[in-house]
Each structure stands twice: as C-alpha cells, then as structure tokens.
Amino acid sequence: MRAVIQRVLKASVSVEGSVVGSIDKGLLVFLGVSGEDTQADIEWLTSKIHSLRVFEDAEGRMNDSLESIKGEVLVISQFTLFGNLRKGSRPSFNRAAPPEFGERMYEDFLNVLSGKLESRVASGQFGAMMHIDAQNWGPVTLVVDTQDKRF
C-alpha cells in the first residue's frame, strides 16, 4: 500500500456534482493498493496514520496526533499511486491491484482505520471519477509505502 497524506484545514470529495465525503481539519489520505498487499499492510498503515504526529502543539512543534486535535480523515482510493514511468511518458498501472481486490482492501482499510480512531473517517467512492477540494494546512505532505518503510 502506498499513501500520500496531507494535513488539511478542510477537504471534500464529489462524484457527479454531489459531495460524498467531507472533513474539517485533519488528514486527507490518497490510498493506492497493489496486488501484493495484505491485511498486515492495512494494520501497519492504519496504525501509522493513527499515531502520526503532524499537528502543532502549544509550542508550535509537530507533536499532536489526530486524536489530540479531534481531527478527521478523508480517504480517497487512488490506483495511480502505483503508476510506473520506466518505459516512457505514458504510465503503466500493472502494479495496482485489480479492481475487485483493490476495492475490498480499500473497504477493509476504512473499517480498520475507523475502529482505531475516535474521529470520523470519510471516504470517496471507489472507482468513480472524483473531484477533490482541499485546503492544505502548512503544507504538510508525507508519502508512506508499506513495502518500503524507509521511504
């Protein structure tokens, strides 16, 4: 699994002009699933997001977590995070999970993350063309890959 995580003041996702998910301050997570991902990847990544300390404390240091600020999470499925440009300019997505497996892992990810957080977890719509609006806060953007934890 690969995630691009952004700290936001607010974010929303729309499908065909209707908002399907929105949050106030918290984290916007773009989630890519590969065909090699397992439940262990879900557990590791949701634990990382749960404990991620990217919000400023009273002294202005990044010490606070989602729970500390009562933040929310918006998770958007994004298979393009596994785009490969090794053979030219047109990306190949052969490392992205097949749709059925990707959707199941995405739903499992949402359920596990919701169980770990006291805050609300909103989501986009798997496989849909989505419009995402986000007001970045910082900006703070992190890239996390469960197969390369040193990333």
**Annotated active-site positions, please?**
78-80
Q: Secondary structure of the chain: what % helix, strand, coil (to 5)? A: 25, 40, 35
Q: What is the DSSP string of 100-131?
A: HHHHHHHHHHHHHHHHH-SS-EEE--TTS-EE
Interatomic CA distance for residues 118 and 19, integer angstroms: 23
How large is the greatest C-alpha to C-alpha distance in the chain, in angstroms? 48
